[in-house]
Chains A and B, each alone.
Chain A
Amino acid sequence: MNAETSRLRDGGGVRSMAARWIVTGVMSLETAAHFGGEGDTAVDIAVLRDPKEGVPLLPGTSLAGALRGHLADVLGGYRSVEDEKVAVLFGAARSDDEGSQSPLVVFDSLGTLPEGTVSEIRDGVAIDSATGTAEVHKKFDFEVLPAGTCFPVRVELVVGNAKKVVEDPKKEARLVGLLVAALDGLTQGDIALGMRRSRGLGAVKAGRWKALRYDLTKPQDWLAWLTSDHQQPIGDHVQGHSSAAEAIRTACPSLKIEAFDDKRRRLLVDLEMEPAGDLLVRSPATEPEAPDVIHLCTAGKPVLPGTGLAGALRAQALRIARLVREGHGDGDCWVDRLFGPRLKGGNKDSEGGQAAASKLRLTESFLEDSDVRRQTRIAIDRFTGGVVSGALFEEQVQVGGKLKIRVELRDPSDPEIGLLLLLLKDLLSGNIPVGGTVAVGRGVLRGTARVRLPGETVYEIAQDLSVNKEARKVFDKKIAAFHEAETLKAEEARP
């Protein structure tokens, strides 16, 4: 630094830059999603929109938060204390007044809906497990973006401290490695965004990754970055890649990106299910000629929402847990641990504890190859045996088809796995009907499962619930752990 430049330097020091990475990609919604907003709209909860053009908006704050959470999960495990490396990429945590600013810039993203689609309205209601009917004051509706909505992703990484980076290129490799680990969450579909993501909403996958690196130790690269377009910094001539890591390697082959061990422990169950008969998840029809009730669709395809499936599973889990844990009296606590505690009266203080997200995550599943059937129903007057006037209605149900459902249990203990296995047994054997009008025989599912326990061991469960000898031994052990677990205290119901 010469005399002239040092005259400019002030007490805050100078943030010198060694390189600037620009990484872009395209993220599309695998399922419907709700990125929260509010406004004077017809629905209870509207999606956040760009105030200028009215298109869906995904704020950089939300995306950065999701990426940060994913990186912390990978480096330290689910719900672990955040690893200090996370702050190197994402800046100081909220409570850290001494920390530094993030070198990563995450841009706001404006969404584009698939052609011919509009935003959708979902109904939400809580079902009382004792009566099987809707709870009072728990009915609401919210707006969702349809599956297929695309959001461009753009992040820029400033590699600071030029002198140290030039002396030790591993510093940049480590920083870029952290970025790759975070962005991999979008590529692999491990990150969900927005509301109700533990129930299948907001699943995303990203691709068409492009990367550019400007070496800011060279004046010509400084000029190249400075004169680049503010809004489209990477031109169409740059080739897209399926992962951010690949795009970054192509942009700078000499950089040896540091890899990190994945510390996440999770149980994954991939279910292949078929409705044994009809399936109906009620949704109001929008066309004038349509039946009174149709099956819920997103982007024109019928779906089984994770919310409905989770509700049915929770009700059955309560029955199982109360029976199995009768001697301990902690059945409800085990269900709360898995599904998240329910807040009675909408006030957490009434429960005396903290709200917590569910450890169990379910996908929203598309119903493939199903047929549509219209059915007319009418109520019969039990006294006269005649029809009830004005009670004629039409339903449009889905018949047949296939569903692929993924169930994920994060950081599971053996007793929790045992409870989930008991639930799976009931689900696969058709004892947990899902959706609406189950009282008239709808919503029965049957199928097979692939269970991947933490540690990558995979076991198959056939349609007749048969499993191999090793799986039986392992499953029995987990179920026995649920039977024999120590009595849970109320406060242990929350993680």
Chain B
Amino acid sequence: MCQNPFIQIELLSDTTFSRGEGTAGLVDVEVEHDAWGLPFLGGKAVRGLLRDSWLSMQEGFPELAPSAVRLFGPEGDCNESSMLHIGDAVVDEETRRWIQAAQTRTNDPVSPAAVLEALTDIRRQTSEMRQTGAPAETTLRAVRVIVRGLILCAPLRWLADPTPQDVRCLCLALLATRHAGLTRNRGRGHVRMTLDGDPEKTRKAAKGGSV
């Protein structure tokens, strides 16, 4: 299981956390994955998503502005003054160990490609030309998606004891972050982010209750 505290990211729809490149002959857009074939989302991307959500909602919660600066850091911060470190969001430790054992065993080892294939699917799409109603040329794309249902955990490390306002600010940003990855406005990347994998606890903290 993930170590506490952590951010749990549950994929409610198929998702593409893209690595910005394809796999020749297979897909035009590949998902970010590690050497074991396990999809992950970088901690920097998680922070970016939370920060973006907060920026959109900050005027609704002016009393949490100092906490937001402590959590997400000021603009253009090169000193890493943020009090919250967010790790990469990866599958849980037990699954990782099983996958690693399966890939390093001497008899019939599983390949990283097989692991990636098991956890993902490939979607193909094309555009239509409005003037003819026929498919537009050179728009056929093959995009890999992580199959919905996968749960990723990003470990959190507080550099100082967080105040209740800090935790509330984080939980509000978590609950507001509901779409991530490529084509997130078109069905993919519907996610549920919670603190320590507990939706109720996250909601309670967002409302200002103690956790």
Asked whether A223 lies within 8 Å of B206 as measured between CB atoms, the reply is: yes
B100 adjacent to chain A (CB < 8 Å): no
Q: Which residues of B contact A102 (CB under 8 A)?
A: 185
Interface 1/0s, chain A 6-18, versus B by CB < 8 A?
0111110011110
With A52-B149, A59-B123 in contact, is A4–B68 under 8 Å at CB? yes
With A79-B133, A357-B133 in contact, is A5–B175 under 8 Å at CB? no
Asked whether B148 lies within 8 Å of A52 as measured between CB atoms, the reply is: yes
Asked whether A227 lies within 8 Å of B207 as measured between CB atoms, the reply is: yes
B99 adjacent to chain A (CB < 8 Å): no
With A8-B55, A82-B130, A357-B134 in contact, is A106–B203 under 8 Å at CB? no
Asked whether A69 lies within 8 Å of B130 as measured between CB atoms, the reply is: yes
Q: Which residues of B contact A108 (CB under 8 A)?
A: 13-14, 187-188, 190
Asked whether A51 lies within 8 Å of B121 as measured between CB atoms, the reply is: yes
Q: Which residues of B contact A5 (CB under 8 A)?
A: 58-59, 62, 65, 68
With A16-B59, A52-B149, A61-B186 in contact, is A7–B12 under 8 Å at CB? no
Asked whether A226 lies within 8 Å of B55 as measured between CB atoms, the reply is: no
Interface 1/0s, chain B 51-88, versus A by CB < 8 A?
11011111111100110110010111000000000000
Asked whether A9 lies within 8 Å of B121 as measured between CB atoms, the reply is: no
B147 adjacent to chain A (CB < 8 Å): yes
CB distance from A71 to the nearest CB of B (A): 12
Q: How far is the CA of A101 from the CA of B131 in the complex (A)?
A: 23
B97 adjacent to chain A (CB < 8 Å): no
Asked whether A495 lies within 8 Å of B186 as measured between CB atoms, the reply is: no
CB distance from A24 to the nearest CB of B (A): 14
How many pairs of residues, A versus B, come closer than 8 Å at their CB atoms?
147
Asked whether B125 lies within 8 Å of A61 as measured between CB atoms, the reply is: yes
Asked whether A105 lies within 8 Å of B61 as measured between CB atoms, the reply is: no
Give 6 A-B contacts (CB < 8 Å), ordered by A residue: A2-B62, A5-B65, A8-B65, A65-B128, A230-B12, A357-B133
Interface of B is mostly: mixed
Task: Kindly name the residue among A36, A51, A109 whose own CB sees the greatest number of chain B CB atoms within 10 A.
Answer: A51
Q: Which residues of A contact B190 (CB under 8 A)?
A: 107-108, 230
Asked whether B187 lies within 8 Å of A4 as measured between CB atoms, the reply is: no
Q: How far is the CA of A110 from the CA of B52 in the complex (A)?
A: 29
Q: How far is the CA of A231 from the CA of B188 in the complex (A)?
A: 14
Q: How far is the CA of A170 from the CA of B1 in the complex (A)?
A: 51
With A52-B148, A162-B59, A230-B178 in contact, is A101–B185 under 8 Å at CB? yes
Q: Which residues of A contact B176 (CB under 8 A)?
A: 226
- How many residues on the A side are at the interface (Cβ–Cβ under 8 A)? 61
Asked whether A4 lies within 8 Å of B186 as measured between CB atoms, the reply is: no
Asked whether A8 lies within 8 Å of B175 as measured between CB atoms, the reply is: no
A136 adjacent to chain B (CB < 8 Å): no
Interface size class of B (residues with CB under 8 A): 35 or more
A248 adjacent to chain B (CB < 8 Å): no
Which of A125-133, A205-213, A214-222, A369-377 participates in binding chain B? A214-222
A291 adjacent to chain B (CB < 8 Å): no
Q: Which residues of B contact A48 (CB under 8 A)?
A: 123
Asked whether A60 lies within 8 Å of B188 as measured between CB atoms, the reply is: yes
Q: Which residues of B contact A65 (CB under 8 A)?
A: 127-128
A64 adjacent to chain B (CB < 8 Å): yes
A1 adjacent to chain B (CB < 8 Å): yes
With A5-B58, A162-B59 in contact, is A79–B131 under 8 Å at CB? yes
Q: Which residues of B contact A81 (CB under 8 A)?
A: 130
Within A1-50, which residues are at the interface with B (CB < 8 Å)? 1-2, 4-5, 7-11, 14-17, 36, 38, 48, 50
Asked whether B75 lies within 8 Å of A79 as measured between CB atoms, the reply is: no
Which 7 pairs from chain A and chain B are nearest by CB? A60-B187, A357-B133, A108-B187, A4-B65, A355-B134, A51-B121, A356-B132
Asked whether A4 lies within 8 Å of B148 as measured between CB atoms, the reply is: no
Asked whether B76 lies within 8 Å of A10 as measured between CB atoms, the reply is: yes
CB distance from A162 to the nearest CB of B (A): 7
B172 adjacent to chain A (CB < 8 Å): yes
CB distance from A92 to the nearest CB of B (A): 12
With A91-B185, A226-B176, A494-B132 in contact, is A59–B125 under 8 Å at CB? yes
Q: How far is the CA of A72 from the CA of B128 in the complex (A)?
A: 13
B163 adjacent to chain A (CB < 8 Å): no
Asked whether A2 lies within 8 Å of B65 as measured between CB atoms, the reply is: yes
- Nearest B residue (CB) for A230: B192
- Nearest B residue (CB) for A15: B56
Partner of A64, one of B12, B55, B74, B186: B186
Asked whether B12 lies within 8 Å of A4 as measured between CB atoms, the reply is: no
- Nearest A residue (CB) for B129: A354
CB distance from A40 to the nearest CB of B (A): 13
Asked whether A104 lies within 8 Å of B185 as measured between CB atoms, the reply is: yes
